[in-house]
Amino acid sequence: MENPQETTGLLDESPAWHNLYQYTMTAYPAALNSALLLATPAISPALESPQSVAGRTGLLTALQRPRYLGPSNRTALLFGAAQALGAWMIYDGDLESGSGFLGAWSALYMIVGGRGSVKALRYGRVWPLLVTTLTGANAYLYGSRFITNGFT
**DSSP secondary structure of 32-62:** HHHHHHHHHHHHS--EE-HHHHHT--SGGGG
Distances (CA, A) of 6 to 2, 82, 121: 7, 26, 38
Indicate the angle between helix axes 28-43 and 127-148, nearest 10 degrees: 160
Q: Give the residue, 7 or 31, on which the prediction is more confident.
A: 31
User: Quick check: 8 and 141 in contact, CB under 8 A?
Assistant: no
User: Quick check: 36 and 136 in contact, CB under 8 A?
Assistant: no
3-state SS class at 69: strand
- Counting Cα atoms < 13 Å in the Cβ hemisphere of 147 gives 11
List pLDDT tens digits, range 70-102: 788 899 999 999 999 999 999 999 999 999 999
Average pLDDT across the chain, whole number: 81
Band (pLDDT 50/70/90 cuts) for residue 2 is very low
Distances (CA, A) of 115 to 47, 55, 69, 129, 134: 15, 19, 10, 9, 15
pLDDT of 117 higher than 50: yes
d(CA 126, CA 76): 15
pLDDT of 11 higher than 80: no
Identify the burial level of 12 via C-beta atoms within 10 angstroms of its C-beta, where 0-12 means exposed, 13-18 middle and 19 or more buried.
exposed
